Amino acid sequence: MSTEITVVRPGALTTVQDSGRRGHAHLGVPRSGALDAPAMALANRLLGNDPDAAVLETTVTGCALRPDHHVTVVVGGAPCPVTVDGRPAAWGTPVHVPAGAVLDAGTVTAGVRSYVAVAGGIAVEPVLGSRSTDLLSGLGPAPLRAGDVLPLGAPAGRTAPSGTAPWPAPPAELVLPLRPGPRDDWFTAAARRTLFSATYRVSPHSNRVGLRTEGPALERARGGELPSEGMVLGAVQVPPDGRPVVFLNDHPTTGGYPVIGVVTDRGLASAAQAPTGTPIRFTPG
């Protein structure tokens, strides 16, 4: 009989995520997947799971789960209090949860997104090769609701590393290395200087589709709009208000606003953990 977990408290937004559905952009399907991929991989490694086994990605307020069999769990990513049936448990290292007990990953104390990994992984039915929830297209399982029941896979039987692992701290300042984009010539030289010298901040309107910014507007050298063209993960699109938007995992695969630059992969995991108001600096990458 397979093990299942029941969602007791879904939190503000909890979704199933793995490494995403690559290779389908030509069909209009973005990659999706865990925003903080290194945190997902580390949580899985601590359990002996495959690195891209599906996990739960929570947003700020965490979630609570009840397994019907004994399970081993790691809560990592953004730091948060962890309890099992109300008793304090360890964050960032494997925790044993008895059958019927409630594991609660609480509200983050820093960062934005915590990851709840379970030995064996979340085994919902894959769509286009991935179990990830895509909030833009609606592919994959819906965001969790109270009472949802999720199947688990069989533990892989690998030996998990002993001891604790170092978890990166959420950024006090978000530094995003930026390579020139295909439409950087649509902006004035002054705008390009502003992009690399001004301090922006994370907007409260940010989500899994894009990290929106607050700060000085970037001046166009050209008017008008582009026909829609392909967009990639990390693209920095500049809408009519002039404030850069960094495309994250659930981004649209096409867009008509000019892309002034592209954030390199090493900056995107930190973007996943930057709460509203975090200072942002773009640097030549």
Give the pLDDT confidence score for residue 27 in this predicted structure.
84
CA trace torsion 72, 76, 82, 88 (10° rounding): 70
For residues 11-34, average pLDDT: 93
5 is written with which tokens?
């977990």
Where residue 193 falls among pLDDT bands split at 50, 70, 90?
A: very high
Average pLDDT rounded to a whole number, residues 31-60 = 96
Split at pLDDT 50, 70, 90, the class of 239 is: very high
Q: Which pLDDT value is given to residue 1?
A: 66
What DSSP string runs through 77-132?
A: ES---EEETTEEE-SSS-EEE-TT--EEE---SSSS-EEEEETT-B-PPPBTTB--
Tell whether the model's pLDDT for residue 209 goes beyond 80: yes
Categorize the per-residue pLDDT at 70 as very low, low, confident or very high, splitting at 50, 70 and 90.
Answer: very high
- Over residues 107-141, the pLDDT tens digits come to 999 999 999 999 999 999 999 999 999 999 899 99
pTM of this structure: 0.94
Indicate if the pLDDT at residue 162 is higher than 70: no
d(CA 25, CA 32): 11
* 160 pLDDT higher than 70: no
Class of domain 174-284: mainly beta
Cβ count near 123 (within 10 Å): 19
Which of the pair, 177 or 24, is modelled with greater confidence?
A: 177
- For the segment 197-209, the average pLDDT, to the nearest whole number, is 97
Mean pLDDT of the chain, nearest integer: 94
Distance CA 237, CA 254 (A): 11
**Residue 163: predicted pLDDT:** 61
Asked if 35 contacts 255 with a C-beta cutoff of 8 angstroms, the reply is: no
Other C-beta atoms closer than 10 Å to the C-beta of 138 total 8
In the DSSP assignment, the letter for residue 23 is: T
Whole-angstrom Cα distance, residue 113 to residue 93?
Answer: 17
Please write the tens of the pLDDT for every residue from 48-57. 999 999 999 9
Q: Which two tokens stand for residue 14?
A: 């909890």
Q: Where are the domains of the chain?
A: 4-151, 174-284
Q: What percent of the chain has pLDDT over 70?
A: 97
Averaged pLDDT, 86-96: 97
Residue 240 structure tokens: 């009519």
Local structure of residue 220 (DSSP, 8 states) = B
Measured CA to CA, the distance from residue 227 to residue 92 in angstroms comes to: 46
**Look-up of token digits 């899985």:** 44
Burial of 27 per CB tally in 10 Å (0-12, 13-18, 19+): exposed
